[in-house]
Amino acid sequence: MKDSHQKIVSRAVMEIKDGMNVNLGIGIPTLVANEIPADFNVLLQSENGLLGIGPYPVEGEEDPDLINAGKETVTAVPGASFFDSAESFAMIRGGHIDLAILGGMEVSEQGDLANWMIPGKMVKGMGGAMDLVNGAKRVIVIMEHVNKFGESKIKRECSLPLTGKKVVHRLITELAVFDFTPNGMVLIETQENVTVSDVKEKTEAEFTVAPELLAAQ
């Protein structure tokens, strides 16, 4: 795992509480499954029809019939259940998912999310993200702070097609943690050895800084 991804995943797993039903999106979010404390009673749901995803399988013990929404082989915990996509999306749309942790291509300062396509590039489909951002009780986006060109992925306005408007509750990157409130985007934490100035330098979006964070720095 890349160091930046490890920082993101380590912080993201802190959002998961014992007893939750959680959906992990494709990409970095799938890495969270291996970090959940063993004593937690957490059910991971995949929109392709599995409730009770376990850690990634040990090499050589993969079951090609057990996959997540990203077509990766996974394991199933004791008591896991299998069902069709209609049942899966009924869970999501019915508000039975406590937490959705999704990847992102762009997030705006209003909490808009773009994570399903880049114009001109082939995509298999929008997947379940549009349902998840509207059906899950809480939506957390985890992503790298800048793209491969060094440009901020946290925008004043998203330039890519939106998955949902004003749907993100919290954003976690390798540099910082932001909350989205009625009064705008708020920086609530910085990662170790990262300053508020570092975050401002790499963030296009406008944001305020939580008073307790200002006091700590």
Where is 196: in which H helix or E strand?
helix 196-201
Estimate to the nearest angstrom the gap between the alpha carbon of 91 and the chain centroid: 18
Pairing of strands 43-46, 21-24: parallel
Neighbouring CB atoms inside 10 A of 59's CB total: 6
Residue 13 DSSP code: G
53 with 44: CB under 8 angstroms?
Answer: yes
Distance CA(161)–CA(12), nearest Å, equals 25
Cα dist from 154 to 8, 9, 42, 57, 97, whole Å: 15, 18, 30, 34, 26
Q: How far apart are the first and last CA of the chain?
A: 30
15 with 37: CB under 8 angstroms?
Answer: no
Among residues 47, 106, 109, 174, the one annotated as catalytic is 47
Neighbouring CB atoms inside 10 A of 198's CB total: 15
Asked about 47 being catalytic, the answer comes back as yes
Residue 120 DSSP code: T
Tokens encoding 149: 């060109």
217 with 191: CB under 8 angstroms?
Answer: no
Active-site annotation, residues: 47
